[in-house]
Each structure stands twice: as structure tokens, then as C-alpha cells.
A and B are shown apart, each in its own frame.
Chain A
Amino acid sequence: MSLVFLIGLSWFFAVILGVLDGRRRWVGWLSVAGLTAAFAGVIWLSVLVLRDGTLQMVGGDWAPGVGIVLRADALGVIFASLSTAVILAALIYEVLDGVSSRMFPSLMLFLATGLNGLFLTGDAFNFYVFFEIAMIASYALVAYGEGARQIRAAFIFATVNLLGSVLFLIGVAALYHLTGTLEMAEIAVRTQGVATVPVLLTAVVIFVAFGVKLGLFPFHFWLPVVYTGTRPAVAAVLSGALANIGSYGLLRFGGEILVREREIGATALLVLGTASIIYGALQAISRRRSSEVIAYSSIGQVGYILIAIGIGGPVGFAAAVVYAVINALNKTLLFLCCGLRGWLVGAAFVIAAFSVAGVPPAGGFLGKAALFEAGVSLGSPAGAIAVVVLVFIGGALSFVYMFQIYQRDFWAGEKEGKASPLALRSVALVLAAMILFIGLWPEFLLGLSRQAASVLSGGG
């Protein structure tokens, strides 16, 4: 378990980097080294967890619940690896591009710390604390660059998400009041014995909080202006790493802790997911800037995750994990491409576009396939048809907006100009290669998602 130490490395590095000048090259590379070490730790931990099963540690050597429970299970480590990888890619990108603010590397590492902690904790209030570490780091990161646009985006982002955080906090406190514990596994057991209404209302509040983070319709209105206003590297991190809080939180709370409440609210999840998919896609179609298209696209894409969670069961949760992973990689790559020029960028962008649209061999088709699987497996024929038709329509619209913007940017010559440095573009190419790899060797992601879904009890 000293592996936690490796994850904690990003914490140490973040503190030290806080007093260094991040604009210097060596400081930038130091931060990359620190995060790489943390990433290696996360990967190592993931391998252990996936091989041997869930690992658990209680802070202070106390009994579980008295001390804070840290729990690394398949679901958590997958999201931790994914988020750390995304942050690492964005950090390398920005360091190569030249960091323009002293605090940037430190804040990125704090963000990674917060996210990893959140994915690996088994305690509801501790979840909130790590959640806030990640959030406050991202508030500061959105302002990165400190231009008028960024400041404006940061204010909107911080206000709206602070509201979401407060809602989550209220939800956690309510759970404590209802169950007398903060340990997630224990809450899951004890809520069974509590009357439905208060737990359901708590579940609603928590759902709204995660909906805000995830940018679900109708909680998404902050998202486009923030994603387009901030710098590409930060937008990549927001959509590729921070938004994972939402999908992970919904999976964890909906699939494991508030199982009964998720089942009651399944219809609402499906309706909101549908609204997200259609609304996001329709908005994306005629947007002029690629960053804006991608921002609206991510609103649509998270709708699929919500649908999968709404369907639930091993197949539904596995589909949600597959979709969340693929979507995070796609969005990271797309946002990074927004800041780049040159023909290799077009190749990377189009791979991500194929992935979003679900065209193999880019990995995105797996997410669509998993959703179709979940949809077809639904008990009621009407429900199955509705889900399949919805995913099909959503997919069709994603073809339209992805290829329109690709052609406009990379074919119609709107992105002409001096090519970006090769090193920067190769970051995008590496991400593109990862997306291709997932598509060509589906077992990797499918196996992972199956294992993650088996952690969750709902419907299984």
C-alpha cells in the first residue's frame, strides 16, 4: 500500500512547485516528472487492483468508518489512470508550448491530486474535500492566461460550480444525518433501512451537483463559454479530466450507494440524457469555432453516459465506463488540436472526429456499440427501440457536426498558417494513437469496463 505514496507524489510536487516560477523550462519539466511519477504510481496501483481485487486502507490505522477509508477498486483506478493521463498530456503540451503563468504547473498537479484522491476514497465527506481541491485548482486554472476572456470564464465557472459543490455538501451532510456514517459502503447498506423520501431528495441534490460538473442539459449553460473562453490545454483538462468527477460520481453514487434511488429516478435519467444528446448535438451543428462545436458536443456526449447509467445493470454500467473513457480521450485530443496548426494536426483531429462519430478503427465506436448492447438488452421492446433510435440519431448528428467543422477548419483552409512545433503536435498524435489502439484492441477497454461494472452492485 505504499503505492499511495506514489500517488501522493503529485501532492508533494504541487506544494514545491507552488513557490517556484512555473514559466521556467526546468520547473515545467520538473512538474512533468512529478506527474509522470504519480502516473506511474496510478498505473501500478491499477495493475495490482485489476489483478488482485480491491485494496483498502484506513487512515490512522483506525477501524473503517472511524478513520477515513481509502479504497482502490477497479472503477476508481480506471478513472484515476484516465484523468492523470489526460492531465499529463495537457501539462506536457503546455510546457512544450511555453507556460505563461507561474502557478500553472503547481495548479495542474493539485488538480491531479484532487482527482486521484476523489477516485480512491471510500468516504463521502473525504470525497467532498478532494472534490473541492480539484474544483478550486480548476477555478484558478480556468483563469490561466489571465486575459479578459479567461477571467470572465473563471468567474462564471466558479460561481456556477460553487453552487454545485454546495449542493453536494448538503447531500453528504444529509446522508450522514440519515445513516450516521460517512463510509460509502456503510451508507449503501444503511440507506436500505431508511424511508425513501429523504434519501430520494438527497439523491436528487447529489445528482444535480454531479449534473452541473458533468455539464448535463439543463445544467450545462456554464459550459460552452468556459470551454471556449479558457486556453486549449485547460479546456482539455476540464473536459477530459475534471468532467470525470461527474461521470464517476454518478456511477459511484448511483450504482453503489443510492441504488434504490437510481432505480426510482431511472426515467428522469433517461429523459435528461436524451435531452442532453439532442440539445448538445443540435447546438453543435452550426457553431463556427471548433472549440465551441466540441464544447456543445461534450454536452451531447455526456448524455450517452447518463443513458447508460439510467439503463444500469452490468451491461449499462460497463457501457457508461467505456463511453466515459473514450469521450475523455476524444475531448482532450480535440481541444488540444484547437490550439494547433499543421497537417499532422488534421490527422489527429480527424481521428478524434471519427471516434466521436463512432467510425472505427478509432475507439469511439466501442462506446456506441456498448450503448447499443445496453439498449438492446433492455427488457421492454419499446424502451430498447427508443434507446437504439436515440443513440442512432445522436450519432448521426455527431457525424454532421464533426465533419462539418473538420472540413471547414482543415480543408477549407481556415486553419492555414505556420505549423505548430512538431513536439506539440506529437502530443496530439500520441493521444490519437491511443484512441486508435483502443479501437484496434477492444479487449483492453471492454475488459476494464466489465471489471469496473462488477464493482457496482446496482442491478448486478
Chain B
Amino acid sequence: MYNVPTVRNTPTIRRLEGEHGSKQNRKHLELRFSRSQTHPPEDSPLTTLAVILPLALALVAAPLTALAGTIRTAWTAPVGVATAALAFAAVLWGWAFAGGGSVDFPWAPTWNLRLAFELDGLAALYAMLATGIGLAVVAYASKYLPLHLEHQNRPDTDIPRFHAFILMFMGSMVGLVMAQDLLLIFIFWDLTAIASYFLIAYDVHEEESRYSALMAMLVTGITAVLLLIGAMMLYVEYGTFLLPDLIETAEPGIYLTAAAAFMAIAGLAKSAQVPFHFWLPRAMAAPTPVSAYLHSAAMVAAGVFLIGRVYPLVQTSQFLLDALLVIGFASMVVGGILALSRDVLKQLLAYSTISQYGYVVFMFGLGGPYGAAAASFYVIAHALAKSALFLTAGAATESSGGETRLSHLGGMLRQQPLLAASSGAAAAGLAALPLTIGFFKDELFFEAALERGMPFPLLALFGAILTLTYMWRFWTGIFLGEERGESRPLPAAMLAPITILGVLTIVGGIFVAPFASLTEAAGMVSFNAETPISPAYHLDLRPVNLLALATFGLGALVIISRPLWAGAAGVFSRIGEVLGPQRWYDFSLTGLNKFSDRIHWLEVDTLRSRIVAILIPLGILVGAGLLVAAPAEAGIYSVGTVESADIPLIVALVLTAVAAVAATVPRNHLTLVLVLSASGFSLTAVYAFFGGPDVALVAVLVETILTILLLAVLALMPSAVLKRSETHGSTPGTKRRAYIVGGASAVVAFLGVWGALSRPTPEESVAAQHIELAPDAHANDIVTVILADFRGLDTLGEITVVGIALLGIAALLSRGRLW
């Protein structure tokens, strides 16, 4: 560990603003607490525990279960159920008895990141759903999964992986809903994506699973980056990631709208809203308990949760609210109609989820206190009902011996009365029949729509009718009609969760108060102000009730008139398949792969081209540099003076250059080497005339050894091989190209080198010091003293290079032996 502050670490202005902001935040938090009736005014050990305990229990559930499962597979399910139950209990205790609370630790001071968690109303609502339904799902899976694996002939050792990921899903949901720091939210956000990725791909040997997992990952993962962008935008502007601070300080405007829009898009994609909805039905490739969880309390719920969390920022922009309205309504309709046309049970439910979360988004778009609160209430009601329905679908499939299609099921009422009753309650809940919690969800929904005014109540009515219709279709399709084949009995562990969820749907329809108060607490967080709601049965003809009655009446009509519109729904679904976003997804994925193949064909694959690819850009960059900078400066190039004493030097230079150019001509290798050494030895003379006897001596010796080595290697190669290469590959075309490249690089080198050499030499130079200091270092030969003393490290490096070359040659030619 080390301390960040150093002398040279200059804080930017933004950072100062950030620190300032966090001070404000303290005050702000206190303010919020005092406004809230449910929270105690200040931090106490109890309120800290109320946050830490649920969080910790939820987060350790997965590793504990994985560990237990690794030790003994049979322990997986009990440990999983126990940890989920504990987490649920802790959340319940933390909210209902301890009254919530918050913790806030520094995490990364450089970015002002904080480990800030708060168990507020919104967090409590979603955390209860995540842990509660998580518990139901894990319990259900402990019986379902062995059967599932048995069908696929897979070993039991695959069980722990499933439970671990489901519980990781649960833990990351709990973390997500409590987190107050946007980057922390982003981390948990992606953790849920990771968990769902592996769960969707649980049947990894099936191509469908892999395809769906990739799709879910790409859609939710890539859009999650938008959340990150939004967070960074806010951080750069306001110096903090902490949501309460941002809500306090952020000023409405196009910048804030953009940041909030990015975060909202991430939420919409995860909630499978149009046009991102296509990944969700595909995610049905996962085992049924995963779908039940994903749809009701985890992945998809996380999307609307995020919108609820950043809603105070979103609602600063009317444009965003309107956009939510449009998207919500589109999802409601598209999901509803597609649900009507699906035959596979889970597909129907999947599209229904899209539609249902469309309601929630629609309500957020409606705005106002009713919108925000009703959205939260809707999530509770939907989660209870939808998880029960998914588990029902799994149970029905299991009971019928693997049948997944509605058209091949039916008449199960008599064989599975308990299942029928429980799922009937859940379906009624979703369809908003009275005496279920669902009735109130629609009541609030209509209320919010009415508050906003026409034409929204009519749109809401349309959505409600769709829901009623497909729920009817779902339930009657399984349980009514003629019996199809034999129905196997189901284990109690599979039935119990469904029953409990069904009962809860009814209980909520009778004792709505606890749900309503939780909703109010959650709505207050989203709306950033009080959101009083009063769901109740009113036996009069108020507009809300009229709308509900209209729903039932028109719904019944639609159900009866099915033959009239079934074809149209089918056509709609067909159009979606042909033109819908999944098609775009497939098209762009295969398109990308094809395009990648296409450009790979262009990729350079010869050494020559690889070298050209360096020389040409070099030339272009040098040219660009000249163009940019040269006009401002006159007299870049100077010719220099020639004195009579320079004549031997010039002769040697000319010889060197001419011999070098000549080296490009000969075909014969021996001639080539001789011409090369001619150039080299002339260069040696140049060094000597330059006043560098040491350099000249070394150059002579190096040139000698190099010539010998070249000749020796040539001698090692049979003359036939060399002959072959002399005639090969020297077509006029390649020759011409070689000379063009050579000539061009000569020009580039010339421009660069001449430019540098033309500069007048600087007045002070370190070389003068070297000359002066050489006697101090006990030497007459200044070059040697530079090599051995002043710059001895260079020489040490140089002989190290020599040594490595020797090792390399040995490795290549004598299996690494130096002897």
C-alpha cells in the first residue's frame, strides 16, 4: 500500500469541486433523512447493520453454495436454499424492523468513488423481490434441476454451477439496488449480466443456448457501456459519482439530459423494451427457474430499477419523459400482440414480460407522483405473478413429459388442481382481476394515466385488454379443454413455491397496506418527493373503476372474437420476424463476420508489403509534418560549405554511396557481398576522414567479420539453392517496384536527414564537457574514456547485445550450446 498524495500531484479544479460536492452531500443526506418518516435521523450501529447484513448475506450466498457444492453435490441445494432464505430474512429485518440505513466508505479517492450503500425504499422493494423470489426459485430448482439434467443425460456435478450463478444473480441484484455510487451501480449491473450470461448458456452443448447467451451478452453488455458513459459524463461535470449528490447539484440542461438518456437506454435494453426486446424471448433457452427469476425479479427488473433509481435526473427533461412514454407504449403493444400469437408457453410469457415492463416504463413516462409510485407497485405485483406463471410453465412441461407448446397441452385442471388454482391466482393477478394484488396495479396505472389526461387512459386501456387476453389464453390453454395424455405428479418442492406465490397474489389483493407503504417509500426515492398512494376498492363509478370494467368487458369481447383477429396477430408476428430487430441483429453479426473476412483478405501477408507499410506512412507523416510546420519557417535547409580538406572525405562518401547503390544490381550472391563490403570499407574511410580513428578501426574489424560471416553462410548453402533465387522473383515488375520504394525512401530519408543536419549546432554541448573532463578520468583517448567511463553503461549494454546475439546464434545453429 502506498499513499497517493505526493508533492507533484496537483489536484485539478474538478477534484476540488468534487470534494466540495461531497461535503454538500453530507448535508443533503441529513436533509433526506429528516424528510423521510421511515428512516432514523442519523447513522447508528443498527442502521449500519441493516445495510451490511443483507448485503453481506446476499453476496456470500453464491461462493458458499459453490464451495458446498464442490465438496459434495448433494449439499448444493440445501445450502443454496438456506443462504437465500437468510438473505431474504435479513432484507426483511433490515427494512421492516431496523428501518433501513446507509453506509458510506471511501473506495477510490482519486476518482472520488465511494462504497456507498443505502437500504432505502426503492432498494428494499427490489431487494425483497430479489431475495424472496430468489428463495422460491432456488427451492423449486432443487427438484427441477435434477430432472432437467436427467433429460439431458448430464452428470449431477453440473448442479452447483447453476445454484452458484443464480445466487450470484441474487447477490448482485441486492448490491445493485442498494448502491448509491454510479460506478458501483455499473459494476453490479454488469455482474447481473455476467450471471445471466452463464445461466442462459447453462445447456452449453446446445447451439440455441450459446446463440441466446451471446445475444443477451451483446445486447445488455454493450448498452451497459452507455451507463458508464453517462456516469463519466456526470463525474467530469460534477466531480462525483454519488447519486444523491448528483441529484442535488445537477442542473437541468442538454448535458444532463444526454447523460440521463444514456443511463436510461441501458435500463431500457436490460428491461427488454422495444427495440431491444428481441433478446428476452431468446433467453428462454435457459432452464425454467432461470427464466422465472430473470423475468420477475432479476435481470429485466434491474432495467426498470435503474430507471427508477436515476429517475430524479430523468424527469428534469420533458423530452426524456415523452421518449419513455413512446417506448413504453410500443413495448406494451408489441409484447402484447406477440404474446397473443405465440404457441410455446415460455415464449408467450416472455413477450408478456416485455409488455408488462412496457407498462412500467409507460408509467415512468407519465411522470408525476402517481407515475413513479405506480411503477414501483406494478413491479411488485408483476414479479409475484410472473414468477409463479413461469414456474407453472415449467411444472406443466415437466408433468406432461416435456411438452412446451400450448396447442399440445390442455385439460390439466383435474390432474393438477393445486397447480391450476395457484397459477390461476397468479394469472388473475397479472390480468388485474379484483381480489388480487393485480387489481391495484391497474388501478394505480389508470390513475396515473388519468392524471396526465387524454389520450393516455385510452392507451392504458388498450394495454390492459391485451394483458387480460393473453393471460386468459395461457391459463385456459393449459388447464381447460380436453385432456392430452397422462400427467405425472409433481414433487412438493416444485408446487410449494408456486402455491406460496399464488397465495401472496391474493393476500396482496386483500391486505394491500404493507405493499402500499413499501411502494410509497420506493416512489419517494424515485420521485425525490412524497408520493402518497391509496389503493383501495371503491364501489362507485369513478373513472378508474370505469376503465377497469371496460377492460373486463372489452377483454371478454376480444377473447370471444379470437378467430377474427388471430390471423392479424400472426401477420404482425411474421412482419416482426422479417423486419424486426432480431433480424437486424443477425444481419449485423453475420455481416460483421463476413466483412471481417473480406478485409482480412486485404491484410498484408508478405514481408515486402509489411516493410512498405512502414515506409509509406513514414513518408506521408514526414510530408505532413513538413506541410504543417515548414511554411512558418524559412531557410530550413542549408547546403553547407565545402573546403579543400574535405576532398578525401567526399571521395570516400561517393564511393560508399555508389557501392551501396551498386549492391542493388548484382544477381550473384558473391558479387553482392563483395560490393557490400566495398561500400562498408569506403564508409570506414569516411569515418577516418571525419576524425574518428577509433570508429574507423572498429568499422574495419566489424566489416571484416561481417564479410567472413556472410561468405561462410553462403558457403553453407548449396549453389543450386542460391542459383534458384538469383533467377527467381526478379520480374521487371518487382524490380521496378523495388527501385520505386527504394527511391521514395531515399527521398524521405534525404528530407528528414538534411533538415536535421542543416540546423546550426547548439552552442553548448555535452561533448565539450567530455573533452574537458577526459584528463580527469586519466585518459588520452577521449572516445575510449566515453565508452569505458562517462557512458560505460552504454558499452555494457552494447556487449550485452553482443552476448545475446551469440546466445541467439547458438540457439539457432547449435541447439544452444556454446561449445
Give A residues with C-beta under 8 Å from B. 11, 15, 18-19, 21-22, 47, 50-51, 53, 59-60, 62-63, 65-68, 70, 74, 101-103, 106-107, 110, 113-114, 117, 121, 125-126, 129-130, 132-133, 136-137, 139-140, 143-144, 146, 151, 155-156, 159-160, 163-164, 167, 170, 174, 177-183, 190, 194-198, 200-205, 207-208, 212, 218-219, 221-222, 224-225, 264-265, 268, 279, 282-287, 314-315, 354, 357-361, 365, 368-369, 372-373, 376-377, 388, 392, 395-397, 399-400, 403-404, 407, 411-413, 439, 441-443, 446-447, 450-451, 454-455, 460
Contacts and interface: CB of A to CB of B under 8 A. Distances in A.
A219 B800 contact: no
B595 A282 contact: yes
A392 B193 CA distance: 18
A163 B614 contact: yes
B158 to A, nearest CB: 11
B614 A212 contact: yes
Nearest to A407: B210
B661 to A, nearest CB: 18
B187 A395 contact: no
Interface residues of chain A: helix, strand, loop or mixed (majority): helix
B191 A376 contact: no
A285 B596 contact: yes
B643 interface: no
Contacts of A155: 607
Nearest to A125: B794
A354 B221 CA distance: 10
B6 A50 contact: yes
A143 B812 CA distance: 8
A189 B270 CA distance: 53
Interface in B570-621: 589, 592-597, 599-600, 603-605, 607, 609-611, 613-614, 617-618, 621
Contacts of B599: 279, 282-283
B815 A136 contact: no
Contact of A372 (B232, B758, B803): B232
B767 interface: yes
A51 B2 CA distance: 7
30 contacts: A47-B2, A51-B3, A62-B773, A68-B791, A101-B815, A101-B816, A102-B816, A125-B791, A136-B801, A146-B812, A170-B753, A178-B756, A179-B762, A180-B766, A195-B636, A196-B633, A208-B618, A221-B610, A268-B624, A284-B596, A285-B593, A314-B10, A359-B193, A388-B229, A407-B214, A411-B204, A442-B110, A443-B108, A447-B110, A450-B110
Contacts of A399: 217-218, 221-222
Contacts of A283: 596, 599-600, 603
A67 B757 contact: no
Nearest to B800: A133
Nearest to A281: B596
A132 B802 CA distance: 10
A282 B210 contact: no
Contact of B629 (A47, A197, A360, A413): A197
Contacts of A443: 4, 107-110, 113
B625 to A, nearest CB: 5
Contacts of A279: 599
Contact of A197 (B213, B592, B626, B762): B626
Given A68-B794, A218-B613, A358-B228, 19 more contacts: A50-B2, A102-B810, A102-B811, A126-B791, A126-B797, A129-B794, A129-B798, A133-B800, A144-B811, A160-B611, A180-B762, A190-B762, A198-B759, A287-B596, A360-B186, A372-B232, A447-B110, A451-B4, A454-B10
B596 A136 contact: no
B630 interface: yes
A268 B797 contact: no
B191 A133 contact: no
A412 B204 CA distance: 8
A68 to B, nearest CB: 5
A19 B766 CA distance: 39
A368 B803 CA distance: 42
B770 A66 contact: yes
A183 B765 CA distance: 11
Given A219-B617, A403-B214, A446 B111 contact: yes
Contact of B804 (A133, A204, A212): A133
Given A146-B811, A399-B218, A372 B9 contact: no
Contacts of A404: 214
A446 B592 CA distance: 34
Contacts of A376: 232-233, 236
Q: Output the residue of A65, A101, A129, A282 with the most chain B CB within 10 A.
A: A129
B788 to A, nearest CB: 10
B761 A180 contact: yes
A399 B222 CA distance: 7
A53 to B, nearest CB: 6
B769 A65 contact: yes
